[in-house]
Amino acid sequence: MSFQIRGIGTAVPEHRMSQTEAAYLAHEVICRSDQERRLLSVLYRKAGVENRFMALPHRIALDWLKPRETPDEIVAGTTLGPTTGERMKFYAEHATPLAVNAARSALSAAKTRPQEITHLITVSCTGFHAPGVDFGLIHELGLRPTTQRIQVGFMGCHGAINGLRVAHALAADPSARVLLCAVELCSLHYRFQWDPERIVANALFGDGAAAVVGDGAASEKTEEWRVQATGSCLLPNSNEAMTWNVGDHGFEMTLDARVPALIQEHLRPWLTEWLASHGLSLADIRSWAIHPGGPKILQGAEDSLELGPSATAVSREVLAQHGNMSSPTVLFILDRMRQANAPRPCVALGFGPGLFAEAALFV
């Protein structure tokens, strides 16, 4: 039995920020010298992001500086910003409404009533509170109080693929009707001080939510996408290549410069073996939904799999228009590919702390 996708919905917050505005903000908040401003400008220009959406207006970062410094002057690079507790209050306030919007869109696309949902999978790595987003979805959507819940937490950019793995397993029950919802408020973890290993996230990440409704029932509609299999691989010698830790002033991400090279070296051998176990070769895959962790990560995947730029065009488009939204991003890509009737088999890929590669095969 495979997980049949009946509908996908996406949602973004109301506040939009261009990459030009993001770079200007970083100059004011972080940079202490002209050299840092020049380096940061190059970083933002090469990030592949044109716009992103945020739960809070980006100028609030300036307001956060003022109470901690002098009342009339902002001193760049001298504060760590809000505490993690303060950031989690914003997450608790804004994550559920965004998730609800995406879920409602997915239910509508799937022509499914909320009362039909039997299982709820939530995915998030940018916030914690309880009762959390799962409670909010049940309450706001009117799901049955007996809806069974599973939370996929703190897994990073590939979290939605892990959620699809759970949905695929649940689809073995023919009576299961599954709602999967991934929501991230990455902007809440904005880095306020110069740190070459961490400020790269400031240039890439945005906020968003995406939801999927599906089941294990057979369908004669050829346009319906099905999760045939999922796979996972811990890349060798990569345990410090990407990290995601809870700090006192937000969650702290580090991204080693070796990540693209690790992907380029190890992705193809693993995928070749994994696809062969399902009777397929790399040449059989007709489209790719690759999570755009950043332009260099996409390039590493392209080089490893010998893909042309057209194979990752949708990934780059989503990155440009929304930034890296962490776990929902790959669902944004899949939604566009489904709407365009992209050829199948299709493989979705995501990379996260470990360094792990996660894959889902769609037929």
Report how far residue 199's alpha carbon sits from residue 293's, in angstroms, rounded to the nearest whole number. 14
**CA distances to 100, 103, 109, 199, 323 from 56, in Å:** 17, 21, 28, 19, 15
Known catalytic residue: 157?
yes
Tokens for 255, please give them: 């991204």
Q: Of 21, 363, 355, 32, which is closest to residue 224 (Cα–Cα)?
A: 363
Residue 228: Cβ within 10 Å count: 17
Report the interhelical angle of 84-110 vs 133-141 (nearest 10°).
40
Residue 114: Cβ within 10 Å count: 17
Report how far residue 39's alpha carbon sits from residue 177's, in angstroms, rounded to the nearest whole number. 49
From the number of C-beta atoms within 10 Å of its C-beta (0-12, 13-18, 19+), residue 299 rates as middle
Annotated catalytic residue, options 157, 181, 233, 346: 157
Residues acting as catalytic residues: 157
